[in-house]
Amino acid sequence: MAEQRVLLSKGRYRARLASGAADVAAAQALRTLCFQTAGTDCDAYDGSCEHVLLEDLRSGTLVCCFRLLVLEGGEGLSRSYSAQFYDLSALRAFEGRMAEMGRFCIHPDWQDPDILRIAWGAMTGFVDAEGVEMLFGCSSFAGTSSEEYLDAFAMLKHRHLAPQRWLPRVKAPDVFRFAARLRRKPDAKKAMLRMPPLLRTYLMMGGWVSDHAVVDSHMNTLHVFTGLEIGAIPAARKRLLRAVAG
């Protein structure tokens, strides 16, 4: 087995990069459990990505995982998972290093908020070490019905749409064009309650989303393209993240 690269170890948890096929298989097994796919959750992108595993040091349980695909700039976006679902031609002009974060999941039996905090700390350390200037990916809402998420989507429309110069265009055959269709004023409390925790964290750091959601029947989710320009993260938030990462 290759030497393990530990990204962060704090309290009872350790985040590290996968060091071989057994680690990748463990991540795929956790994804299968979390996403409840019919077969093992694996795809052709797994072989191109770094896989981050977050483990409980007391029991050895894998409690969280995600994968990262590093791209040298916007010209490499066609290699990304997100490019299957979104027209990312506007982002091809982005010149800095990029990383796609995907398949993020937390074990359903583990509710400890430290898991998400340490996962972001590990991701911050990775982003800093690799010189990444934009983090992006698909942020998912459970299920394919938009009805229970209308306040959340209205909030995304009013406060968090991508800058026009980076705005992803429609590519998938089945989408919910929430920015064009919704006229409601969002109930902020309901919106934040229905917002997925991962997306909520992106938004707190200044992240932005596409103006439409993709209806992904294979994964039984609605997802929005999410981007986060590292240079635009508020200074206070950066200090908090790097304090965790340190």
Domains of the chain: 5-245 (3.40.630.30)
Residue 8 pairs with which residues in a beta bridge? 15
Which residue, chain included where needed, has tokens 């690799």? 130
Tokens standing for residue 230: 């590292």
What is the phi/psi pair of residue 226, to 5°?
-125, 130
Q: Is the separation of the CB atoms in 19 and 7 below 8 Å?
A: no
Q: How far apart are CA 157 and CA 168, in angstroms?
A: 14
Q: What's the whole-model pTM score?
A: 0.95
pLDDT at 246: 73
Q: Which of 239, 48, 224, 74 is nearest to 139 (CA)?
A: 224
Q: Which of 51, 50, 64 is nearest to 13 (CA)?
A: 64
Instruction: Tell me whether strands 5-10 and 169-170 are parallel, antiparallel or unpaired.
Output: unpaired
Name the CA dihedral angle for 208, 214, 218, 220, rounded to a multiple of 10 degrees.
70
Q: Identify the sign of the CA torsion 125, 34, 199, 46.
A: positive
Q: How far apart are CA 25 and CA 9, in angstroms?
A: 22
Q: How far apart are CA 107 and CA 56, in angstroms?
A: 11
pLDDT at 2: 57
Tokens standing for residue 221: 């989710």
Q: How far apart are CA 88 and CA 189, in angstroms?
A: 32
Q: Which residues contact 23 (CB under 8 A, 6 or more apart)?
A: 51, 53
pLDDT at 24: 98
pLDDT at 1: 47
Assign 218 to helix, strand or coil. coil
Q: Is the separation of the CB atoms in 35 and 105 below 8 Å?
A: yes
- Intervals of the chain under pLDDT 70: 1-3
